[in-house]
Amino acid sequence: MEILKRLTHHIAIALLRLFSPLMPDRSPVTLVGPGSAKNLCESIGQAGVKRALIVTDQALVDLGLVAGITADLESAGVIFTVYSGVEPDPTFRHVEEGLSKLREVDAQALIAVGGGSPMDAAKVMAAMATNNRPLLKLRGWFRIRKQPMPLYAIPTTAGTGSEATIAAVVSEPITHAKNFFIDPKLMPTMAALDASLMTGLPPHITAATGMDALTHAVESYTALTSTAKTERFATTAVRLIFENLPKAYKDGNDVSARSAMALASFYAGMAFSRTGVAYVHAIAHTLGATYGTPHGWANALVLPHILEFSADASRKRLAELADVIGLEGNGERDKARRFIDAVRELKESVGIPPTLDDLQRRDIPSIAERALAEAWATYPAPRYMDQAQAEELIEKLVA
């Protein structure tokens, strides 16, 4: 059975590798730098939008970040309504509530303000607004028939890169199982990478989101579906993160470092949106569903172990990434080892521990099984992983 499963996986990945370059290559119109959120609001008004729904979370409202954006919308002549009910790992309920509000106010566009959660929820709302189909009918690959409602993205974290991806993740409300929506039509219309909105992020969120972006870039670069274009995006992101994440973590008001991290997150999003991710994300998603572990934090915990697992298969790629961040070594094997060590050191330098306190040994078989089910056939990992190997790796995260 395992041999058949492994063979089928390799065939599926080969087909994915063959056809992924044929996917429509889209990207949002992107405004960069402090003040770019204001420029985006002006552009929304210039596009003829009269009524917009802002999708965000209550914490950003309480911090006053949304107030600045609403003031800019007022100046641009755009009437707005705020839906601030999105929570981390948005569920079907959040999407349905936001969609109800959108229809109530007859909005013509959506503006996602925040991290990956508001953006993912807004993407699915935008799709449902124009596709007269139940939410679950839109789940999966290329299920969105009609172009979604215009979506404008203003990220306030530098991690998910959702402003530059064709995917959204929404959880089931009870089991918290992840549901994936993947379609080029989900790419936002326009994005603003405004570092001035990110200076108030606390260090632990800066760390988790930064490591999330690094995971996107590294998994994309080592994916079997990588291309010359995605490799340029990924290597730029890796370099920017190693240079700037420690600075942003140490001094949240370092606008230069924040701007670089915003760009890194965007480039990493552009990369993995075209290649896919692999076992780091599969395990991290399952940890999130089981324990509520923040996604970036979970990615950071798992990433070094997956790099160790695939070190031989990814040796050349990891050695190239060592070159990107200026590491010297004696041959590919040594350079690959040095890069893995550098990832682990970066993670520890921004306060992310090696283990997960919540992780229970009794849960490991189930976590491994669900992670492998997610990754099977669609995640272009450089090395195949079976149940025993997954359990052995997850065991290393036990406190």
Give per-residue pLDDT as tens, 267-305. 999 999 999 999 999 999 999 999 999 999 999 999 999
Short-list 316, 387, 398, CA closest to 355:
398
Q: Summarize the confidence of residues 25-40 as an average pLDDT.
A: 92
Q: How far apart are CA 265 and CA 269, in angstroms?
A: 6
Q: How far apart are CA 191 and CA 162, in angstroms?
A: 10
Q: Is the per-residue pLDDT at 59 higher than 70?
A: yes
Question: Would you state the pLDDT for residue 35?
Answer: 94
Fill in the amino acid letter for 270. Answer: M
Question: Would you state the pLDDT for residue 22?
Answer: 65
Which phi and psi (to 5°) does residue 383 adopt? -140, 130
Tell me the C-alpha to C-alpha distance, in Å, between residue 38 and each of 78, 118, 158, 373, 392: 12, 19, 18, 43, 49
Short-list 287, 292, 289, CA closest to 305:
287
Show the domains of the chain with their CATH numbers: 29-197 (3.40.50.1970), 202-395 (1.20.1090.10)
Q: Summarize the confidence of residues 11-28 as an average pLDDT.
A: 73
Q: How far apart are CA 169 and CA 390, in angstroms?
A: 23
Average pLDDT value over all residues in the chain: 94
Angle between helices 279-291 and 295-309 (to 10 degrees): 140
- 26 or 306, greater pLDDT: 306
Question: Would you state the pLDDT for residue 372?
Answer: 96
- 111 or 16, greater pLDDT: 111
> Is there a contact between 262 and 198 (Cβ–Cβ < 8 Å)?
yes
Reported confidence tier of residue 232, pLDDT bands at 50, 70, 90 = very high
- The angle subtended at Cα 170 by Cα 129 and Cα 166, nearest 5°, is 70
Three-state DSSP class for residue 221: helix
- 19 or 388, greater pLDDT: 388
Q: Is the per-residue pLDDT at 312 higher than 70?
A: yes
> Is there a contact between 122 and 129 (Cβ–Cβ < 8 Å)?
no
Q: Is 158 left (phi over 0), alpha (psi -120 to 50) or beta?
A: beta
| Contacts with 156 (C-beta within 8 Å, 6 or more apart), sequence order | 60, 65, 113, 114, 115, 197, 198, 201
| Count of beta carbons in the 10 Å neighbourhood of residue 98 | 27
**Full 3-state SS string of 34-52:** CCHHHHHHHHHHHCCCCEE
| Count of beta carbons in the 10 Å neighbourhood of residue 96 | 15
Name the helix (H) or strand (E) containing 179: strand 178-182
Reported confidence tier of residue 7, pLDDT bands at 50, 70, 90 = confident
Reported confidence tier of residue 78, pLDDT bands at 50, 70, 90 = very high
Angle between helices 228-250 and 331-349 (to 10 degrees): 40
| Contacts with 345 (C-beta within 8 Å, 6 or more apart), sequence order | none
Tokens 């790419």, located at residue: 187
Three-state DSSP class for residue 144: coil
